[in-house]
Amino acid sequence: DQQVKQNSPSLSVQEGRISILNCDYTNSMFDYFLWYKKYPAEGPTFLISISSIKDKNEDGRFTVFLNKSAKHLSLHIVPSQPGDSAVYFCAASVTGGKLIFGQGTTLQVKP
C-alpha cells in the first residue's frame, strides 16, 4: 500500500528553466509534507516543508504547492541549476506520526 507516490522516476530539464516534481498521496489525514534532496552516497537533505493549513510555501528558488482536494503536492525549482541534479523525495506524515516517503524522482539539469 503505497501511501505516497512519485509517478515520474526521472525528469530532465534545461538549465535556467523550471523543474516541476510531482507527488500524490492517498491518506487524507496527512497534514505535514516535506521535500528532501539526495546526492549519491549522501543522506537525504531537508529542502522545504508545508503544513496542510497552507497551499504554498516558498524558499528562494524552491516553492512547494499543496492541493489538498486532489491530494497532490509539487515542488517547483526556478531557475534550475546543474547543481540541482539529484534524487528528490517527497514525504508526508500525520502530526506526531512517522514520515512516509515516496519512491523518489531523479532530476537531471542539463547545462
Partner 1 sequence: EAGVAQSPRYKIIEKRQSVAFWCNPISGHATLYWYQQILGQGPKLLIQFQNNGVVDDSQLPKDRFSAERLKGVDSTLKIQPAKLEDSAVYLCASSQQGYNQPQHFGDGTRLSIL
Q: Does 34 bind partner 1 (CB under 8 A)?
A: yes
Does 51 bind partner 1 (CB under 8 A)? Our answer is yes
Q: Which of 23, 5, 17, 12 is nearest to 73 (CA)?
A: 23
Residue type, 24: D
How far apart, in Å, are the Cα atoms of 105 and each of 41, 52, 55, 96? 16, 22, 22, 26
Of residues 53-82, those binding partner 1 (CB under 8 A): none
| The one among 27, 32, 62, 76 contacting partner 1 by CB under 8 A | 32
> Quick check: bond before 44 cis, omega within 30?
no
**Integer Cα distance of 22 and 35 in angstroms:** 10
Distance, in Å, from the CA atom of 27 to the CA atom of 58, rounded to the nearest integer, reads: 24
Minimum CB separation of residue 59 from partner 1 in Å reads: 12
User: Using the rule CB under 8 A, is 29 a contact of partner 1?
Assistant: no
Of the residues 19, 84, 102, 107, which one makes contact with partner 1 according to CB under 8 A: 102
Is 111 a binder of partner 1 (CB under 8 A)? Answer: no
Residues that bind partner 1 (CB under 8 A): 4, 32, 34, 36, 41-46, 49, 51, 89, 91, 93, 95-96, 98-99, 101-104
